[in-house]
Structure 1
Amino acid sequence: MTAETPFVPVVDFADWNSNASLEQRKAVAQRLIEACQNVGFVYITNHHLSPERLAQAFEWSKKLFDLKLEQKMLAPHPSGFKVHRGYSWPGLEKVSNAMGNEDDTADLTKTLRQVSDVKESYEIGSEGNKDQPNQWLPESVLPGFRMFMTNFYWECHKTATNIMSAMALGVGLEEEDHFVPTHPGHNNQLRLLHYPPVPAANIESQTSTRMGAHSDWGSITMVFQDDCGGLQIENPNQPGEFIDVPPLKDAVVMNVGDLMMRSSNDTLKSSVHRVTLPPKQDRFTGDERMTRARYSIPYFVSPEGPTMVECLPSCIDEKHPVKYKPIRWNDYMLMRASMQYETPPDEAAVSA
């Protein structure tokens, strides 16, 4: 790694608490903003989610994905892209940076799907979000799963609120809780991800992928990783070059999403990232290298659906005029989601 190659900074959040002085909180906020300006990704330690709680979350995730397919299919991802909840089996979702606002959306979707993402996921949201109803497994299939994940969802929201309060202070807003009214937590998404073993040659030849290069849609994303590795970010100084984001035990990897970049008038960076081959493979089938299974838990933070996202006043001046027109979160979300899940034939006929 050269001196010009950025690395993912580490920010200690121990001083972001009710007993800390304003100066201590400002120091945390400034370090966070510097990372979001230069790289767009940051490791956060002492983020108030305990190592024990994170270990439990990964244990539940593994129990889920160890179920038989027919059991997981008792809570299937609904058809289409408008509701993003429940179980997505390998090949159902295709992640990219494509935007679904062009006339050739259907053709582009088909082209992207010529190379499948080899992963499975389970999406969980707030029980209070009636537009995105949860798809729960029957309690008898995985007893205790629903209760744990519901509680963990709101624990993650508390941590996310702390991070966004630090961001508000760091970009010069008058109130730390500036984002709280528009981000009450009901439009967030907890995602359990499993990348099953696959021949390494398939990834190297690009006949299949783990997760393609993309930016995240919302305000911020928090990601908890296992020890496998494979997450990479695009070098902001060298487009097309990707840099590893290796696991850091018990840390959360936080990245800026598109909406926060728009809100900050490009002060903060929504970085392109992907998941590819982990640094090590742990088994062979004959002469064939197989990737390790990988587990991760992202938590996507977004405003309420009708929220109009516009540039923050502290990020606008004579040298930095407004770059983005206001946009409603739900409209932006649907443009992106429409490229990841295929439109059902009946809905496609209506839209045509």
Structure 2
Amino acid sequence: MKIPVVDFSSWYNTQDESSRQRVAHELVEACREVGFVCIVNHSLSETILNAAFDWMRRFFELSDEEKMQAPHPEGWAVHRGYSWPGLEKVSQTMSSGNDDEARKKLREVPDVKEIYDIGSEENAAQPNQWIPKETLPGFQAFMVRFYWECNKVGSEILRALATGLDLEDECYLTKRHSGYNNQLRLLHYLPVPAEDLEKERTARCPAHTDWSSITMLFQDDCGGLEVEDVSRPGIFVPSAPLKNSIVLNVGDLLQRWSNDRLRSTNHRVRLPQLSDRFEGPHRMTRERYSIPYFMSPDPDMVIECIPSCMSEGNPAKYKPITQAEYNKMRASMMY
């Protein structure tokens, strides 16, 4: 299995509808077959992407004391602020109501990464946890701007997906994504002995699907992202970094919306594939930086089957559910 590459430049050519249709259907086909697609020639500039990675590195270079000026709030309900190594544990486990033992079991192999989560300033239910402006001047202002720049690109992708799904209204999905419930995540995977990952004493990010509608991922050149081969369950293939591209994947909510026409595929972060990604006699993995941006509908938005994805012979497979209800089932097991 290979990750398809879609050139998004023609989508912006509003004078040539056939080119837009071609891009939209290539995008949907990739999301149907693999669930992952590498998008090139999108509208997010190289300049702002380079700046985002620079600000992220500067943040994670702060002292622990400085980063802890904006700690992730206790519990799962607010998904913002700084998460120190070991706080979060990614899993596919849904909450069942009696989760203490399950949480303990999950954390026997800790995830060795630190995270900073950011959302919309207007989302009162998910208040941002900012470090003081004087700790890293300019950081907050840039990240607020970057959040909305990512939303613009994500909205274009949602319009293309709606077109590729043969919906009459190109804005069918964007109408359900105001942008105020998205999540910008800064991720720093710490150096760790390769043997610890190989023998599963620690993990970077275990296999999982995303809770969002779509995820846009920006990554450095370290590598390590792997996607499950849809034709060979349990076999994962690397998604090689491609400079300035967006690695797009379908999230659980869009799979539900599309009645399984689009695929939310398992993925994970493991060891890089190349030996030059290790350093020193103990084969220390290089640190890795990535920025996923999760596009999610508003909390009270009901996820129910898209009209073009069901028929008399293919009825809706999922009961309607709100984003807030689905989020609770997943988030309560993570922290």
Task: Identify the match of residue 40 of structure 2 among 45, 65, 70.
Answer: 45
The offset of 1:18, in angstroms, is 5.3
Say whether residues 1:206 and 2:200 are aligned partners: yes
Aligned to 2:22: 27
CA shift, 1:318, in A, is 2.5
Partner Cα distance (1:186, 1:233) in 2: 29
1:215-251 Cα deviation digits (max 9, x unpaired)? 0001000000100000001110011000000101110
1:194 and 2:188 equivalent?
A: yes
User: Given the alignment, which residue of 48, 56, 59 partners 1:64?
Assistant: 59
Which residue matches 1:136?
130
Would you say 1:328 and 2:322 are equivalent positions?
Answer: yes
Equivalent residue for 2:254?
Answer: 260
Q: Does residue 1:221 correspond to 2:219, yes or no?
A: no
The answer to whether residue 317 in structure 2 is matched with residue 296 in structure 1 is no
Question: What CA deviation, in whole Å up to 9, does each residue of 1:164-208 have, x standing for no partner?
Answer: 000001011101111122101000000000001011111000010
Opposite residue 213 of structure 1, the aligned amino acid is: A
Q: How does 1:1-352 map to 2 (within 5 A)?
A: 6-17=1-12, 19-100=14-95, 102-279=96-273, 280=275, 281-284=277-280, 287-341=281-335
One-letter amino acid of the counterpart of residue 59, structure 1: D
Residue 267 of structure 1 and its aligned partner are, at CA, apart by 0.3
| Maintained 8 Å contact 2:14/2:20 | no
Which ranges in structure 2 are unaligned for 5 or more consecutive residues?
A: none
Once residues 15 and 297 of structure 2 are traced to their aligned partners in structure 1, the CA distance between those partners, rounded to angstroms, is: 28
2-side partners of 1:18 and 1:177: how far apart? 17
Q: Deviations over 1:266-299 (max 9, x none)?
A: 0000000000011233411xx3110000000000
Corresponding residue SS for 2:191? coil
* Equivalent residues of 2:67, 2:131 under 8 A apart: yes
Counterpart secondary structure, 2:260: coil
Cα deviation code 1:120-159 (max 9, x no counterpart): 0100000010000000010111000000000000000000
Structure 1 residue runs without a partner (length 5+): 1-5, 342-352
- RMSD of aligned alpha carbons: 0.9
Give 1:52 deviation, angstroms: 1.3
- Corresponding residue SS for 2:20: helix
Letter in 2 for 1:135: Q
Give % identity.
Answer: 54
Q: Is the 8 A contact 2:13 2:20 kept in 1?
A: no
2:313 and 2:203 map into 1 onto residues whose CA distance is 42
Give, in angstroms, the shift of residue 50 of structure 1: 0.8
For residues 166 and 326 of structure 2, the distance between their equivalents in structure 1, rounded to whole angstroms, comes to: 26
Deviations 1:310-346 (A, max 9, x none): 00010001331110000011010011001100xxxxx
Q: Secondary structure at the match of 1:117?
A: coil
TM-score by length of 2: 0.98
SS at match of 1:243: strand
Q: Secondary structure at the match of 1:15?
A: helix
Runs of 4+ in 1 over 6 A off after TM superposition: none
**Count of residues in Structure 1 that have an aligned counterpart in Structure 2:** 333
Counterpart-to-counterpart distance in 2, 1:282 and 1:114: 25
Deviation at 1:90, TM superposition (A): 0.3
For 1:349, the equivalent position in structure 2 comes to none
Structure 1 CA distance for aligned equivalents of residues 20 and 331 of structure 2: 36
Q: Distance in 2 between matches of 1:161 and 1:129?
A: 18
